[in-house]
Structure formats: C-alpha cells, structure tokens
A and B are shown apart, each in its own frame.
Chain A
Amino acid sequence: METYESKILSLVEKNKNIVVITAENRISLRNIPPKLGANFIDVGISEQNLVGIGAGLAKQGFLPVMHGMSAFLTMRAFEFIRTDLGYPSLPSVLVGTFNGLSAAGNGTANGPTHQAIEDIALMRLVPNMTIFAPSDVTETCSGLDYITKLEGPLYIRDSNFGTIDIKREKFIWGKNECIVQGNNIAILSYGTILSICLEVSKKLSMQNTSHSVYNMRFLKPMDEQTLDHVFQNHKIIFVIEDHVNIGGLCSIVKEYAWENKKSQEIILINLKEHFFKPANFVVALDHAGFSADKIYEQIMMSMKGSNR
C-alpha cells in the first residue's frame, strides 16, 4: 500500500525542486528524513519561520511542502501564509495534521489548544489558496501527484492516515465525487467524517431511505458542478463537518444556495462554536455527536420534522 511517506519520497526522487519542511511535526514523516538529505529541513517548533522559509524557497523556484499541526500552522502562522504565500501566489504546499476530530494519532485526546476546528475558514480567507481535505491516504497520495502543477499555495487538511475500502470515481484534481448515488436526501462531508457518513449511509440503505453521499474534498475553489448536481437532484441537504459553524463547508453550501437562489432545506451538523470534549477518538466522536449512530439519529429526526 502506498503511504504518505513513500509518496513524498518518490515525488522528491523524481523532482529535486521539492523541499520537505517541518516545524518538528514528523507524524507522517518518521522514516524518510535521512533519505531526503538536503531536501529535508526541520525548522523546529516555529510555524511562522516554517512558512517564511518556505516562501523564500518558493521564491527561488523550489516547491516547499511544509508540515505542521493544523492548529498551529493555520493560526500561529496565519499572517505569514496570507502575506508571504497567498498575496504573491507562490506555488507551495501546507500539510496540516491533527484537525477536526482527528482519528489519526488519536488526536482528539489533545484538547482545545490543539483543536483545528477553524482551519478551513482561515485558509478560505487566504487569496489564491486551494484547499484539499482528503478522506484517506489513497486520496491524499492521488492529490500529491498534482502538486508540481500548482500556481499558488495549497492547504491539505491531512486528517486520516487509514484507507476507506470503497469503490470510487477516478480522482480528478479539483473535482468532488459522488460516492453513493440516490435521491431525496444528500449528505455532504469530507475528511475523517466522510467515512462515518458512509456508515450512516449503510444504515439509511437498510431502511430503504434513498440518499446520496458526496465527498467534498476540494473546498476552495469550490467545485460548483458538483454542487449544481447536489441541488438539482435532492430535496434535503445535510452538510456534516468537524469544523465550527462559520467558514467551512456549511458556509460554502449556504453561500452557494443564496447566490444561486436555491430553496432546498439545508441542515447543518457541525461543531457550532464549541471546542469538543477531549477523549479517545471513538468516545470524543460520539460525545460531539459525530458517531454514525448520532448522525443517523439526527438525520432521521430532521426527516420527521421536514415537510418535504
């Protein structure tokens, strides 16, 4: 199986302009630093410099792939990202780990200091930024194939190091995918929560409730074609994300609906304005209302309350 490490290593072997940088965040880079040689720089725990140094390298024609924990990368270094990568639109990659309800590394045990639950909102604010939130490592690796073609910065919300065992559409850069095709209700999600939504999907299928599940991995620029499809074919749209209510996929869908004068019912399941209760992943997920059972319950309750 291809891993993040093996993918990065093969990319650097093919393209010596790629420089892997980290702010001493090595969760996805444990074994490769010695193999990367001069193409690896660990700047220590200093996210602002991680991005500033990446910008200096990018300006000189290198492609920096910068690693940090999403909370510190997107918040501590926000101004550097906005001013030094976004404004000049420098081709560059920011890889954030431990975001939302992070299954990877049992990140939910960290507590509020480490919770990246506003990262999508922040990165959406950065001009020229692309946002990619893959749901498993296969998808992450497929996306990494495109980094040498970037025309500006890319934020990867790298949340899940496992793989989801499903049949998928061929990966197309910038394109979101419909994983389950039905009608009446649509479920839109990304990242860690997508796999939970697929469990919910099984429960809905058992009840013969027709529905679709969309993987909204590309959040900026938004793949409007997929949203057109969602709104053309469904009456109730559930948007489910491990992110605060402001600025993430929930906001994106509301903005789309307003701009396109859509009147479908949109139901939002997100973290509202709450830090979630820290615990082991499965417990934290359930407590925050994102276990398959809890999401299923919410969908069924909403369906009862809906007149559509």
Chain B
Amino acid sequence: MIKKFDNDAEFQEFVLHCKKNVAKMATNGGCFIGSAFSCMDILAYLYCNFFDTKKIKNNEKDRDLFVLSKGHAVAGLYGVLAELDIFPKKRLDNYLSVDDDLYWHPNASIPGIEFHSGSMGHGLSIGIGMAFASKIRNSNNHVVVLLGDGELNEGSIWESMLIASAYKLDNLIAIVDRNFHQANVKTEELIQLEPLDHKLSSFGWKTFSCNGHNFNEINEVFSEIKDDNSNKPKVIIANTLRGKGISYMEGNPQYWFANLEKEKVNQLIQELNSLQYNKK
C-alpha cells in the first residue's frame, strides 16, 4: 500500500514496522542492521512522502530513481519496500536462500532496486548517468543516491561531485547518511570528513542538513529541495545514529553488522514492539 505521512507519530509507527522486517534478517546469516537502522527513517520518508511510489510500483519509465550506494544497508531498504508491498513481505522469508536474490547487497532483480551495488563509490556515478538520461528525455523525475559517510573515502565520489556540479544536474539529490562511523572505526578518527558541509558546498552542491531521524526536519529539507531553483545538484547531510532505536546498538561500532541468535531477534522485536506501545 502507498502511504503518505503528515505527522511524526504515524511516521515513526510505520518505521517501527519496517525495522521489525529488518530484525528478522538479522539472524541465520545476519545483515548490516546498524547501517540499516541508521538510514531507515530517510528510506521510509523517500518512499512514503517524496517519491511517486505508484510509478515505482508500476515500473513506469519516468519513475523516480533511487540508488543505494551504501549497498550493505539493503536490509533497511527491503524492510521498507516489503512494508509498502513493492514486493510481497512473504518474500523476505527467502533471505539468503539460493532460490532468491535477497542477500547482503542489493540485486536489481528485486522490485524497487534500480541498480545492484555493494562496492563503495559507484552509486553516485550511476546516479549521474541516470540524471543525464532524465535530462536528455526531458523527464521531471528525481534521481536520489544514498551514500554512507565512510563511503566518502572513495575518490570516485569526489570525481562524481565535480561532474554533477559542472553539468548542473539539479535533478540529482545525494544523501549522506552521516552516522560518523565506517566499517570498523569512527570516521573522524580515521580520515576526517569535517567540515563536510563546506567541502560539499565548495564542490558546487547546494547543501542541506537535517536530523535524519526526525520526520519534521526531513520533511522540511525535502520541501526546500522541491522549491529550490538553484540549478545545482543537492546534497543532504542526514545526521544519524548507527543502530538507531535499539538502545544497545545505538552508536555501537560492534553493531554495523549483526548475526543474532533467534532468541536475541525475538528480544529485538519485543523492544521494537514496546517502542510502538509507548508511542501509543
């Protein structure tokens, strides 16, 4: 079903449902749950409030296009796509089965996945190609690419930043999931990205930032982007927490990836249920 939210409470309720889908993938092989929960609100917002999801569902030619460049967070994307019935939720039971294509990184055979990913630093160039395609066709769709902050270590990302700016690709939106963590370490303790907003602005991108877990702030940023006439590509620094919503996972470097015992998953779902109950 296609949803559109106008308040934080209902939105958060929806996100909790999506997170429960992810929790079920965090066992028997596991998934990058911390990374998924970091960008879960952004993903849910995109598909509920920003994209024309009906066109995505119908695979229409001028649909909005999304590339998950930080491919390892795909469990989060699958959680949203399944909750919106872009593919049947039952299909998640096939996770990590050889009979399907649901594994740790996105596969384009899954409805809603426009391009496979996994290797860092590819998605923005793919998105630029898609943005050029829309320009040549005079299509008004948006192209959105979600990047990890650790992914910004890749030089190809900065080549892409220069190119998108040089060609004034104003139909392209990049989102940086700024959780200050990369695979094993904190970003600022390895290759410092700050001041990130200055870096991105100086590359010619219109730069926005928001709390990546707050519906109203996300909503506000996307409203500004819709009204923007700057002819520049846009980038949103979404300030987030790795493992958002689960007390012991939040900001915990150990929970980038998790392969939990069944019992732990049940506890996780209970925690998510209780959050839901508290909201009510």
Interface residues of A (CB under 8 A from B): 19, 38-39, 41, 43-44, 46, 48-49, 51-62, 64, 79-80, 83-84, 87-88
Contacts and interface: CB of A to CB of B under 8 A. Distances in A.
A56 B156 contact: no
Contacts of A87: 116
Contact of A54 (B124, B129, B134, B136): B129
Contact of B125 (A19, A39, A53): A53
The 10 closest A-B pairs by CB, nearest first: A56-B129, A52-B125, A60-B133, A46-B159, A53-B129, A56-B126, A57-B129, A56-B130, A49-B125, A48-B156
B167 A88 contact: no
B159 A56 contact: no
Contacts of A51: 125
A59 B115 contact: yes
27 contacts: A19-B136, A38-B136, A44-B162, A44-B163, A44-B166, A48-B159, A49-B159, A49-B160, A52-B122, A52-B125, A52-B128, A52-B129, A53-B125, A53-B132, A56-B127, A56-B131, A57-B133, A59-B114, A59-B115, A59-B126, A60-B129, A62-B133, A64-B129, A80-B122, A83-B122, A87-B116, A88-B116
Given A49-B125, A52-B125, A57 B163 contact: no
A260 to B, nearest CB: 34
A45 B167 CA distance: 15
Contacts of A54: 129
Contact of B132 (A19, A46, A84): A19
B115 A43 contact: no
Given A43-B163, A53-B129, 11 more contacts: A48-B156, A53-B132, A53-B163, A55-B115, A55-B125, A55-B129, A56-B115, A56-B130, A84-B115, A84-B126, A88-B116
Contacts of A52: 122, 124-126, 128-129, 156, 160
Given A19-B132, A52-B156, A60-B129, A46 B163 contact: yes
A46 to B, nearest CB: 4
B140 interface: no
Nearest to A80: B122
A61 B167 CA distance: 21
Contacts of A80: 122, 125
Contacts of B127: 56
B119 A79 contact: yes
A139 to B, nearest CB: 29
Interface residues of B, number: 28
B135 interface: yes
B115 to A, nearest CB: 6
Contacts, number: 89
Contact of A84 (B122, B133, B155, B160): B122
A57 B159 contact: no
Nearest to A83: B119
Interface in B34-90: none
Nearest to A82: B119
Interface in B115-165: 115-116, 119, 121-122, 124-136, 155-156, 159-160, 162-163
Contacts of A38: 135-136
A54 B162 CA distance: 16
B108 interface: yes
Contacts of B126: 52-53, 55-56, 59, 84
B129 A59 contact: yes
B188 to A, nearest CB: 26
A79 B121 CA distance: 11
Contacts of A19: 132, 136
A55 B156 CA distance: 14
Contacts of B114: 59
| Residue among A54, A61, A84 having the largest count of chain B Cβ atoms under 10 Å | A84
Contacts of A55: 115, 125-126, 129
B116 A56 contact: no
A81 B115 CA distance: 14
A287 to B, nearest CB: 36
B69 to A, nearest CB: 10
Contacts of A88: 108, 115-116
Contacts of A64: 129
A105 B132 CA distance: 31
A205 B135 CA distance: 58
B204 to A, nearest CB: 13
B162 to A, nearest CB: 7
Contacts of B159: 43-44, 46, 48-49
